[in-house]
Amino acid sequence: MYMPQLPDNRTPKHGDIYRFYVYETIETAGYPTEAFTQLGISPIATQELHFRPKLVVLKEKGKP
């Protein structure tokens, strides 16, 4: 898992509590098998169409 560094180059440690301003979003990836079938093309190896949740950290709010 990717762990971003804090603005002052500290790396959060397990058990530390921080507050951040964040937003949650999703992104899509892959190809729907139906797209190939409808075009009469053999589907290629793919992970199908799926969603990836993402939490984007905007700014540190400070320790509680």
Task: State pLDDT tens for residues 21-63.
Answer: 888 998 888 777 777 788 888 777 666 778 888 888 888 787 6
Q: Judge contact between 16 and 32, C-beta under 8 A.
A: no
- How many domains, the chain? 1
Domain that holds residue 44: 19-62
59 neighbors 22 (Cβ within 8 angstroms): no
Examine residue 51 and state whether it is found in any structural domain, yes or no.
yes
Longest dimension (CA), the chain: 58
Structural domain contains residue 47: yes
10 within a domain of the structure (yes/no)? no
Q: What pLDDT score does 64 carry?
A: 65
Residue 37 lies in a domain: yes
Distance between CA atoms of residues 9 and 60, nearest Å: 12
What the block records as the tokens of 37 is: 């079938």
Beta bridge partners of 51: 28
**Would you say residue 41 lies in a domain?**
yes
